[in-house]
Amino acid sequence: MQAMEASTRVLGQEHPDTLTSKDNLTMIWIDQSRWKDAEDLEVQVLAIRERVLGQEHPDTLTSMDHLASTLKSQGRDDQAVALMAQCFSLRKRKLDIGHPDTVAFLEELNDWQVEKRPLRFFLG
């Protein structure tokens, strides 16, 4: 918390290092199951990154992914999957469908969607 506050004071609210400090703090809060604190800060970081860096910037996409994971951890699966789908669409457009990061992201999104629906196996 002190590092984030110092970074904000010295570098400013929108500096990439300040945003990274905030992002790191959200990871600590997630480890502590402080979901609401993490979500609030992730929303703030995502909004700044979208405005300053653009929606398709890798750091913005990382923020989007982190927020989706936090939503999922809170049991807000519909919101999490919708945000992950939006993030996947942006990654695909930016990186290409065959890029390893895009493929890994698609696999994670598919896993999340499968978790939402019970699987039915048929013999025959």
- For 36-81, the pLDDT digits (tens) are 999 999 999 999 999 999 999 989 998 999 999 999 989 998 899 8
3-state secondary structure of 110: helix
Domain count, the chain: 1
Q: Which residues, including other chains, have CB under 8 Å from residue 22's CB and lie 6 or more apart?
A: 4, 41, 44, 45
What DSSP string describes 33-44? T-HHHHHHHHHH
Asked if residue 67 belongs to a domain, the reply is yes
Asked if residue 51 belongs to a domain, the reply is yes
- For 7-45, the pLDDT digits (tens) are 778 877 888 888 988 998 999 999 999 999 999 999 999
Q: Which amino acid is at 60?
A: T
Asked if residue 123 belongs to a domain, the reply is no
Asked if residue 38 belongs to a domain, the reply is yes
pTM exceeds 0.85: no
Asked if residue 124 belongs to a domain, the reply is no
Asked if residue 23 belongs to a domain, the reply is yes
Domain that holds residue 38: 2-116
Q: What CATH code is carried by the domain that includes residue 54?
A: 1.25.40.10
Q: Which residues, including other chains, have CB under 8 Å from residue 32's CB and lie 6 or more apart?
A: none
- For 89-118, the pLDDT digits (tens) are 888 887 777 878 778 878 888 887 766 654
The label of the residue with tokens 């999922």 reads 72
Asked if residue 86 belongs to a domain, the reply is yes
